[in-house]
């Protein structure tokens, strides 16, 4: 599967996990609008699409979302199954994969990732709510990965904005 196709596959995969592109656009716009007056949602969308075309990002998303799905289906062995289902605050491998995503655009994305992940803004609050309310739904990796994609897309915009000045 070539890289461009893989990006389409991942957008479909995100949609199948109830995350659509416009929700990530909203996060990027929220993070970056004050730093970059005149920023449009279309620019945010383009930036996300560029982030999603990076192989490291694609692989982190594939692995994390697959683990969520396998945990939902009960195909993961114990004790990992319980750890994933409970989204234990001491489990840090979701942050490890998220970091692999933000790092592609340098370390300035770290702060935005942490902020989104803690504040549970927008789609991230919905994902957490679904996980807590809907029995059996696992979003242990998904919320961190979505926050990381948004943070990376904001970093990319910041770097490009810095260059154009």
Q: Hey, what are 144's tokens?
A: 């961190």
With b meaning 16 or more CB within 10 Å and e meaning fewer, what string describes 16-32? ebebeeebbbbbbbbbb
- Tell me: does residue 154 bind a copy of itself (CB under 8 A): no
For residues 58 and 14, the answer to whether their CB atoms sit within 8 Å is no
Give min distance, CB of 22 to a copy of itself, in A.
Answer: 23
Interface mask (CB under 8 A) for a copy of itself, residues 65-84, using x and -?
Answer: -xx-xx----xxx-xx--x-
Instruction: Count the alpha carbons within 13 Å of 58 in the hemisphere toward its beta carbon.
Output: 18
Figure out which of the listed residues 11, 21, 46, 108 binds a copy of itself, where binding follows CB under 8 A: 108
52: Cβ contacts below 8 Å, ≥ 6 apart: 7, 10, 11, 58, 61, 149
3-class DSSP state of 18: coil
- Tell me: does residue 106 bind a copy of itself (CB under 8 A): yes
Which CB, 22 or 56, lies closer to a copy of itself?
A: 56
Figure out which of the listed residues 12, 22, 49, 96 binds a copy of itself, where binding follows CB under 8 A: 96
Q: What Å distances lie between residue 24 and 74, 89, 91, 141, 162, CA to CA?
A: 28, 24, 24, 16, 22
Give min distance, CB of 50 to a copy of itself, in A.
Answer: 14
- Tell me: does residue 62 bind a copy of itself (CB under 8 A): yes
- Tell me: does residue 162 bind a copy of itself (CB under 8 A): yes
Give min distance, CB of 81 to a copy of itself, in A.
Answer: 9
Interface contacts to a copy of itself, rule CB under 8 A: 1-3, 6, 9, 35, 54-56, 59-60, 62-63, 66-67, 69-70, 75-77, 79-80, 83, 88-93, 95-100, 103-104, 106-108, 110-119, 158-159, 162-163
């Amino acid at each position: 599967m070539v890289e461009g196709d893989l990006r389409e596959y991942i957008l479909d995969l995100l949609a199948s996990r109830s995350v659509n592109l416009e929700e990530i656009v909203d996060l990027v716009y929220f993070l970056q609008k004050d730093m970059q007056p005149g920023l449009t949602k279309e620019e945010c969308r383009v930036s996300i699409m560029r982030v999603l075309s990076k192989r490291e990002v694609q692989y982190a998303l594939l692995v994390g979302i697959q683990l969520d799905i396998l945990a939902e289906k009960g195909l993961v062995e114990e004790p990992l199954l319980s750890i994933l289902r409970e989204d234990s605050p001491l489990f840090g491998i979701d942050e490890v994969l998220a970091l692999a995503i933000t790092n592609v655009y340098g370390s300035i994305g770290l702060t935005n990732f942490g902020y989104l992940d803690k504040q549970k803004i927008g789609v991230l609050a919905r994902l957490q709510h679904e996980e807590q309310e809907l029995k059996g739904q696992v979003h242990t990796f998904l919320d961190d990965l979505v926050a990381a994609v948004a943070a990376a897309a904001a970093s990319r915009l910041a770097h490009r904005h810095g260059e154009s000045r």
